[in-house]
């Protein structure tokens, strides 16, 4: 097995499309564009409708003001971080970023940011695609690094902050284009008709068919669709986004009202070991991209996927 792993690493490294004259290395931090979100109070979650699982009861939440990333964090922005800090390992021994001899769901064509002799480059044309293949710890480390470089305070959004922004300030909208109906659309990057065609026969049996094409069969650059009511892009779809909270299915029934965030690991069950991800992505049906839909994703191994990224929040305390 060890021998096989070495072969895979060598093959993978040599297969990366490297034309350094055309690919770009980023060294200096770039501050992501930010949108100011004023403090406010809203009803988080939805009423129990017989079909809901973890996004009820609806409960009152008050939030302090913050800034949030206008877009998902991009390859260009994350590349500077990797060149500054290196690609470190999580506690499980796996690297922050994909560069691993494991069975992640990447293909060579999916790699837009790569390593060569310890330095990181972005493939030409992919600066503004969201970073993915990262662990939650990598996203957190990026926020810490950006805070140190700018003398400001960045972190991941809490789940409550994320939902408040996704709903354009707590409005009763199911999707980022300020839509309240659960309907097919072309206003965000989800698993549309073009994606459906790529599925195996077996997966098609379980995947809702749609006649809509949103313009992207796979990942899209950030900001390719209309923004939500606050001017924030891609809250629905493209990459799912890590939040600060641990995922806990019944958290809404015990959540405090002011600036809630599930950080107490004593509250969660052994099957809930993961950080919250929100917003759905280009590989799932539209209703998974709803502003209310919750999901949990492992911090370490399973956290690295071709459909999970993040955006940042700046706090003013
Ligand atoms: Ca799509
Ligand atoms: Ca997203």
- Interval 88-117: pLDDT, tens: 988 878 889 975 545 555 567 778 998 888
Distance from the CA of 283 to the center of ligand 2, in angstroms? 12
Contact 43, 58 (CB under 8 A): yes
Distance from the CA of 192 to the center of ligand 1, in angstroms? 5
Mean pLDDT, all residues of the chain: 87
Candidate from 101-105, 201-205, 209-213, 251-255 with smallest mean pLDDT? 101-105
Contact 158, 245 (CB under 8 A): yes
Q: In this predicted structure, what is the pLDDT of residue 228?
A: 94
Among all bound ligands, the one having the nearest atom to the CA of 198 is: 1
Taking residues 249-275, report their average pLDDT. Answer: 90
Taking residues 123-148, report their average pLDDT. Answer: 95
Q: Burial letters for 37-75: b for 16+ Cβ neighbours within 10 Å, e otherwise?
A: beeeebebbbeeeeeeebbbebbebebeebbbbbbbbbb
| Site of tokens 């503004």 | 128
Taking residues 159-184, report their average pLDDT. Answer: 87
* pLDDT above 70: residue 19: no
Q: Label residue 268 by pLDDT band (50, 70, 90).
A: confident
**Euclidean distance between CA atoms 183 and 136, whole angstroms:** 31
Contact 262, 213 (CB under 8 A): no
Q: In this predicted structure, what is the pLDDT of residue 115?
A: 86
Q: In this predicted structure, what is the pLDDT of residue 2?
A: 44
Q: Label residue 120 by pLDDT band (50, 70, 90).
A: very high
Candidate from 27-31, 43-47, 162-166, 184-188 with smallest mean pLDDT? 184-188
Distance from the CA of 305 to the center of ligand 2, in angstroms? 14
* pLDDT above 50: residue 24: yes
β-pair partners for 74: 130
- List Cβ neighbours of 66 (8 Å cut-off, separation of 6 or more): 37, 161, 313, 314, 315, 316
* pLDDT above 50: residue 142: yes
Distance from the CA of 226 to the center of ligand 1, in angstroms? 14
Taking residues 10-24, report their average pLDDT. Answer: 51
- List Cβ neighbours of 266 (8 Å cut-off, separation of 6 or more): none
Q: Label residue 317 by pLDDT band (50, 70, 90).
A: confident
Distance from the CA of 286 to the center of ligand 1, in angstroms? 10
Contact 239, 221 (CB under 8 A): no
Task: Supply the angle between the helices 75-85 and 136-150 in degrees, to the nearest 10.
Answer: 80
* pLDDT above 50: residue 1: no
Taking residues 16-42, report their average pLDDT. Answer: 83
Contact 189, 217 (CB under 8 A): no
Distance from the CA of 260 to the center of ligand 1, in angstroms? 32
Among all bound ligands, the one having the nearest atom to the CA of 283 is: 1
Contact 289, 277 (CB under 8 A): no
Taking residues 73-88, report their average pLDDT. Answer: 97
Candidate from 35-49, 87-101, 183-197 with smallest mean pLDDT? 87-101
| Greater model confidence, 95 or 45 | 45
- Integer angstrom CA distances of residue 37 from 1, 117, 157: 51, 41, 12
Contact 92, 127 (CB under 8 A): no
Taking residues 178-193, report their average pLDDT. Answer: 79
What CATH architecture applies to the domain 19-315? Alpha-Beta Complex (3.90)
Q: Label residue 144 by pLDDT band (50, 70, 90).
A: very high
Q: In this predicted structure, what is the pLDDT of residue 183?
A: 62
* pLDDT above 90: residue 179: no
**Euclidean distance between CA atoms 146 and 74, whole angstroms:** 14
Q: Which two tokens stand for residue 279?
A: 């917003």
Distance from the CA of 117 to the center of ligand 2, in angstroms? 31
Q: In this predicted structure, what is the pLDDT of residue 9?
A: 38
Reported as type and span, the H/E element at residue 137 is helix 136-150
């Amino acid at each position: 097995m060890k021998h096989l792993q070495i072969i895979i690493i060598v093959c993978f490294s040599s297969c990366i499309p490297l034309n350094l004259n055309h690919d770009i290395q980023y060294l200096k931090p770039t501050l992501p564009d930010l949108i100011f979100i004023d403090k406010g109070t809203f009803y988080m979650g939805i009423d129990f409708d017989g079909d809901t699982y973890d996004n009820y009861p609806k409960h009152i939440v008050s939030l302090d003001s913050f800034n949030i990333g206008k877009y998902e964090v991009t390859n260009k922005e994350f590349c500077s971080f990797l060149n500054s800090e290196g690609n470190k390992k999580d506690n499980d021994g796996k690297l922050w970023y994909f560069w691993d001899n494991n069975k992640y769901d990447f293909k060579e064509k999916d790699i837009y940011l790569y390593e060569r002799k310890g330095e990181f480059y972005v493939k030409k044309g992919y600066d503004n695609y969201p970073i993915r293949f990262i662990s939650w710890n990598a996203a957190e480390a990026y926020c810490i690094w950006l805070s140190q470089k700018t003398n400001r305070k960045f972190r991941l959004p809490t789940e409550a902050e994320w939902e408040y922004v996704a709903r354009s300030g707590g409005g009763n909208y199911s999707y980022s284009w300020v839509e309240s109906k659960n309907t097919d659309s072309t206003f965000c990057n989800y698993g549309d008709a073009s994606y459906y065609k790529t599925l195996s026969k077996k997966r098609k049996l379980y995947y809702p068919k749609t006649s809509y094409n949103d313009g992207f069969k796979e990942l899209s650059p950030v900001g390719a669709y209309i923004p939500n009511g606050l001017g924030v892009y891609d809250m629905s779809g493209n990459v799912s986004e890590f939040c600060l909270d641990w995922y806990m299915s019944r958290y809404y029934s015990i959540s405090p009202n002011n600036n809630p965030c599930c950080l107490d690991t004593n509250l969660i069950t052994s099957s809930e070991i993961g950080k919250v991800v929100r917003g759905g992505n280009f590989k799932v049906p539209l209703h998974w991209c709803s502003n209310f839909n919750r999901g949990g994703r492992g911090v370490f191994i399973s956290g690295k996927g071709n459909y999970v990224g993040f955006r940042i929040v700046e706090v003013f305390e």
